[in-house]
Structure 1
Amino acid sequence: MLNRRQALGGAVGAAAMAGGAGPALAQSADGALRRLLDGMVQRGASGAERAAALAAFPDLHRLSANARLDYDAVLQASKIEAAFARRFPFGAGPGAPYAVTTRAGSWLKAADAIKASGNAPLTLARKLDAETDRVRADAADHGVVPPAFVIDKVLAGLTAAAGAAPADLAGALARQGEALASLRAKAGSGAGLGRFSWGREYYALVLKQNLGTAIDPEEAHRRGLAAVQTFGARAARLLDQRGIAAGPLGDRFAALARDPRWLYADDETGRDRLVADMNVWLDKAKARLPKSFAATPSGTLTARISRMSRADEAAARQGYRDAPSFDGRRTGIYYVDLADIRRRPSWTLPSVVHHEAVPGHMLQIPLEEGAGAHPLRARLACPGFLEGWAIYAEQLADEEGAFQDDPLAELGYLQWMLFRAGRLVVDTGLHVKGWTRQRAEAWFARVQGPPPVFAPIAQDVERAAIGPGGVAGQGLAWLEIVRIREAARRRPDFDPRSFHADLLLPGTLPFATQWRRLLA
């Protein structure tokens, strides 16, 4: 097991000693930086404000190695955020070009405000009117209009909410609906940022924001397609061996998913059996940890899969986790979504274990805690890294032989990887290649079949349309980890355990920094 001293040691600790800063001096400078970063969080400082304050920090040369990583990562991310504000002063913030969508805007809180007592409806009405003014100004000043299909869905939601709202709130909902309806004709038929003259520049910047390094959007699309081709060819061979050889890959996965031999009973016994099976896979994953990790946080070893409460299952709550602490005092639990258990074939579950638990989130999250990185760095440095690591963890489990004697579980893994890579292709397809929503949905269905997540394909496409670069950043982070590893593997002294330690122990960092650190 790994203690906190070990987590903060190694390359990071050695770099601090090499810098020549004595403990008291480094602690003084480190403390000043932490107070500065804490203040930024408390004030809600903008990217430009953070960048200016960091540029004026007087004790840069006296920071410890780990504090310097905080400084450099937050500064880089703040500069990117400041560039967004300068170049694209519209929408709901960096990476969110539309102020009101199916996933953003005060209208989504209307039902809660209606139920609340006091001035909640009136307060929400004022927020709605402010957002309506923003929608009109964004359209007038920058030509920013959400996709037509998004406007249609928001209009339906606004109408439904207004029907049950008191007068002031109903009026604000109606005014927002009128503003969006007046803009619909300007939305065009596209779903991506290619509708706008600034779209390509915006998309390149949002990818840089998510990764902490620049990447050409066309190259991002090519990487996604290459991954789909690799995993798709492998899946096709396995499906051929099972005698499911006709039609597009998605149709073949759908045929396998309907086979009742691999479905759990829709009752208490079936749910308990599913969770027990997942914990068997989790125990095997823990046993493999020494293959790729020199030591493991105590918290990681506490990870378990559990059923949700009956109330959560009845409410069809999606899967969620309680992440373990570094020291294991807080155990890690992943609560699996079993509301529609007949859509959870047994062969799709092992990869969920590797992604959500070990060696995925329940290894990376406690290590992030143990690294002592400032929370602002963890949030800003590379937003795509957390999911990117968990996707990489799925691939790592496969490379370690997790599915060597279980071709069905291997097919489940491959479908998940097609889903991960497919999201990247859909995101870049919409915003870089000019794909329509219909084309994106049809392509995704041909590639992966029934989604392994409990969300329709249309929902994933909508998410990519209104949040450009988000899921693409996750997929690219996974592929970037692989690219760095393969470059490091060419060295004669490469050791996967050392590589993973060097990647994870300092905490989340921009990939531009990771390339320099890991291949210096």
Structure 2
Amino acid sequence: MIELNALADAYVDEFAALDPCRAAMMGIAGQDDRLTDYGPEGLAARADLVRRTLRELRELEGRGGTGGGHRIAAAVLREHLEVEWARHEARVDKSCLETIEGPVQRLRYAIELLDRGDQTPWPALLARLRAVPASLAGLRTSLSWAAQEGRVAARRQVLRNAGEARATPAYLVELAARHTGPLAEPLAAAARAAGQAFQDLAAFLERDLTPQAPERDALGRDRYLLGVREFLGTRVDLEETYAWGWEELARIRSEMARAAAQVLPGEPVEAVRAALDADPAHRVVGAAAFRDLMQQIADQAIAELAGVHFDIPEPLRVLDCRIPPTGGGVYYLAPAEDLSRPGTVWWAVDPDPQASISTWSVPGIMFHESVPGHHLQVGTTTLHPTLNRFQRIASELFPGHCEGWGLYAERLMDELGYYRDPAHRFGMLAGGQQYRAARVVLDIGLHLELTIPAGTGFHEGERWTPALAREFLSLHTGPETEEAIAFEIDRYLGRPAQAIAYKLGEKVWLEARQAARRREGAAFDLKDFHRRALDLGPMGLDLLRAELTTP
């Protein structure tokens, strides 16, 4: 095991040095003053690391050094490396532009993570700002080379990234201006230079890349199946899963109707949604009040679940809820492995201090992001004493496992009686469960350009297009504004199969729990099942299913 752990540790160290932006999101310590090289040399160096580590792992397996109790750790590392190598061979990263996890987004996140108010590490922030121009110049080179090979992201993704690049400089200047100490002048200069680099990237995307970008958004079956491997760690029959998504959506819609009757008896679902949106009891005014509500829900869940339903380590009883400065939806970032940064939930809302913000779906989403969702699962993994270092930081690399647990956590809190207000339970179904089932239908349907089946009551017999997707999502999801819906459609089209990780991951967690109940009978203990399941650490869904369902 020492040899396998040494290999895993060496991989994490080199991975973090070669990709500081992704390392920052994963909580890997030690790279706070650096950014990722997105140029051809950086891409080649990361591919070489994967190739070398995969070869060394296979040699170790050939010598019998990964058997017995080391089997899971070796399987998890191998699964990640094989997917990364498949992405390299498919040349996915060379032309990568997407909505939430592309280079533009990761560069922004890397800077936002250092934005900690009075605790901001200004020297590290200065170093990262100074590194922005070179990192973006490398990205432009990679995108230009990929374009020469005929590999350009869809026009939708190119324009989305151009818009985000143009929106970033104002935040960088504002962030630097908060510092009034001796680094004020260098920070201001670095922020201006970094902002100009983002503007230059936007101009390049609009002027040079957009004319070459294909209008077609669908990426097709082969690219989608690679996404299934990457995000879910499994293989699925796409048409069968598409049909299951429609069935699951119909089931949840029926459950929503029953929940709506608990809120306003006799009223249909859409009338209940409208009434809740209009009810001052389910709204707060301003981002600061919304952040306080997030924090209150998270703190209360931690206090009430700790020691009763879950063993929550003391460091994980701290969670930071924040509003991001530049948008980006709702997301969780793990605590730094050295605990220099706590686990954080980011939730983008209207920054207008007078904006009225709906809250009836917030508890379910917070249970997903905080405890017992991502913060418990990912935080427990980060601090786990028996997992190797790669396993401890790898949660982000296995979204089916991670997001499936988050969606499972929303349902679990219903079972535990935590939606005391019927509006909050309705919100969990309407804003979480329905939304993720709709994603299964949309994501597969869009990328494979499938036909909408008969009996669905929605444009039956037509093939999916982004325009139909917007209409469908407005009927079946939480986002209320056209802008939010457009963001979601762009997200699905830029990251094939990521959107189905939630519902298919939840399905595996629920099936595994049911198998354990049948196997153990009266001896089944829910708290013990959760402890044993989370102790496994992150992994693909096929491996998770095997570990939790095999006696």
Counterparts in 2 of 1:253-272, with a 5 A limit? 253-266=273-286
Judged with a 3 Å threshold, the aligned counterparts in structure 2 of structure 1 residues 517 and 460 are, in CA distance, closer, same or farther, namely: same
Q: Which residue in 2 is equivalent to 1:517?
A: 547
Give me the TM-score of the superposition, normalised by structure 1: 0.72
Aligned partners of 1:316 and 1:337 also within 8 Å: yes
Cα drift, residue 446 of structure 1: 0.5
1:4-43 paired onto structure 2 within 5 Å: 26-27=1-2, 29-34=3-8, 37-38=11-12, 41=15
CA 129–462 in structure 1, closer or farther in 2 if over 3 Å, else same: closer
Taking the TM superposition and a 5 Å limit, the aligned residue runs for 1:22-171 are 26-27=1-2, 29-34=3-8, 37-38=11-12, 41=15, 44=46, 45-57=48-60, 61-63=64-66, 65=68, 67-86=70-89, 88-89=90-91, 91-92=92-93, 98-101=95-98, 104=102, 123=134, 126-127=137-138, 129-139=140-150, 144-153=151-160
CA distance in 1, matches of 2:165, 2:321: 35
CA distance in 1, matches of 2:485, 2:49: 35
What amino acid is the match of 2:218?
G
User: What letter corresponds to residue 517 of structure 1 in structure 2?
Assistant: E
2:387 equivalent to 1:373: yes
Residue equivalent to 1:8? none
Say if 1:245 and 1:428 are closer, same or farther in 2 by CA, change over 3 A. Answer: farther
Higher RCO (CA 8 Å, separation ≥ 6 residues): 1
Q: Aligned runs of 1:202-217 on 2, under 5 Å?
A: 202-217=223-238
Contact 1:48–1:81 under 8 Å retained in 2: no
Q: Go from structure 1 to structure 2 and tell me whether the alpha carbon gap of 1:40 and 1:150 turns closer, same or farther (over 3 Å shift).
A: closer
1:407 aligned to 393, 414, 422, which one?
A: 422
Deviations 1:295-347 (A, max 9, x none): 443334x245x664xxx577768666675689999865656666468554342
Structure 1, residues 127-158: CA drift from partner, whole Å, max 9, x if none? 3552343342342xxxx443343445556778
Q: Does the 8 Å contact 1:298/1:326 carry over to 2?
A: no
When residues 482 and 136 of structure 1 are mapped into structure 2, their CA distance, relative to the original with a 3 A threshold, is: same
Secondary structure of 1:213's aligned partner: coil
Q: For 1:227-286, what per-residue CA distance to the aligned partner results, in whole angstroms no more than 9, with x for missing partners?
A: 322222111223245448677x55652442122232234497787567546644554444
CA–CA separation in structure 2 for the residues paired with 1:206 and 1:396: 28
Matched with 2:363 is: 350
1:235 to 223, 236, 256: 256
Structure-2 residue corresponding to 1:491: 519
Amino acid in structure 2 at the alignment position of 1:92? D
**Which of 418, 433, 437 is equivalent to 2:466?**
437
**Which amino acid in the other structure matches residue 503 of structure 2?**
G
Match of 2:410 in 1: 394
Unaligned runs of 5+ in 1: 1-25, 194-198
Structure 2 residue matching 1:239: 3-state secondary structure: helix
Q: Give the counterpart of 1:361 among 341, 363, 374.
A: 374
Amino acid across the alignment from 1:131: S
CA distance in 1 between counterparts of 2:368 and 2:485 reads 20
The structure with the larger Rg is 1
Give 1:383's aligned amino acid. P
| Offset from partner CA, 1:349-370 (integer Å, 9 cap, x none) | 2213311222112221232121
Q: Match of 1:5?
A: none
- The equivalent position to 1:180 in structure 2, one of 176, 191, 209, is 209
- Paired residue for 1:507? 537
Taking a change above 3 Å as real, the CA distance of residues 131 and 244 of structure 1, as seen in their structure-2 partners, is farther
Distance 1:134 1:313, change over 3 A: closer
Distance 2:486 2:288 in 1: 31
Q: Secondary structure at the match of 2:537?
A: coil
Residue 191 (structure 1) aligned with residue 197 (structure 2): no
Q: Could you say what the CA RMSD is over the residues aligned between the two structures, in angstroms?
A: 4.5
Once the two structures are superposed, residues 354-397 of structure 1 have per-residue CA deviations (whole angstroms, 9 ceiling, x without a partner) of 11222112221232121543343453862332222111111111
Number of corresponding residues: 460
**For residues 128 and 520 of structure 2, what CA distance do their matches in structure 1 show?**
68
Contact kept? 1:207, 1:214, Cα under 8 Å? yes
SS in 2 for 1:264: strand
The CA distance in 1 between the partners of 2:289 and 2:75, in whole Å, is 52
Change (3 A) 1:441 1:251: farther
In structure 2, distance between residues paired with 1:222 and 1:253: 27
Distance 1:492 1:421 in 2: 30
Distance 1:201 1:407, change over 3 A: same
Where in structure 2 are there 5+ consecutive unaligned residues? 19-45, 112-125, 170-191, 451-462
**In the alignment, what sits opposite 2:123?**
none
Matches within 5 A, 1:420-499: 420-432=436-448, 433=450, 435-448=464-477, 450-451=479-480, 456-493=484-521, 494-499=524-529
In 2: Cα distance, 1:331 partner to 1:108 partner: 19
Match of residue 13 from structure 1:
none
Correspondence list, 1:288-367, <5 A: 289=309, 293=310, 295-300=311-316, 302-303=317-318, 308=322, 323=334, 334=345, 339=351, 344-367=357-380
Q: SS of the residue aligned with 1:370?
A: coil
Q: Is the Cα–Cα contact under 8 Å of residues 330 and 346 in structure 2 kept in the other structure? A: yes
The answer to whether the 8 A contact 1:105-1:131 is kept is no
2:208 & 2:334 partners in 1: Cα distance? Answer: 43
Q: What is the match of residue 19 of structure 1?
A: none
Contact 1:319 1:335 in 2 (8 A): yes
TM-score (norm 2): 0.69
8 Å CA contact retained: 2:297, 2:366: no
- 1:505 is displaced (CA, Å) by 0.3
Amino acid at match of 1:351: G
Distance verdict in 2 for CA 1:282–1:232, change over 3 Å: farther
Summarize the Cα distance change of 1:32–1:122 in structure 2 as closer, same or farther, 3 Å threshold: closer
- Partner of 1:485, secondary structure, is helix
- How has the CA–CA distance of structure 1 residues 60 and 209 changed in structure 2, closer, same or farther, with 3 Å as cutoff? farther
Structure 2 SS opposite 1:192: coil
C-alpha separation in 2, matches of 1:118 and 1:39:
23
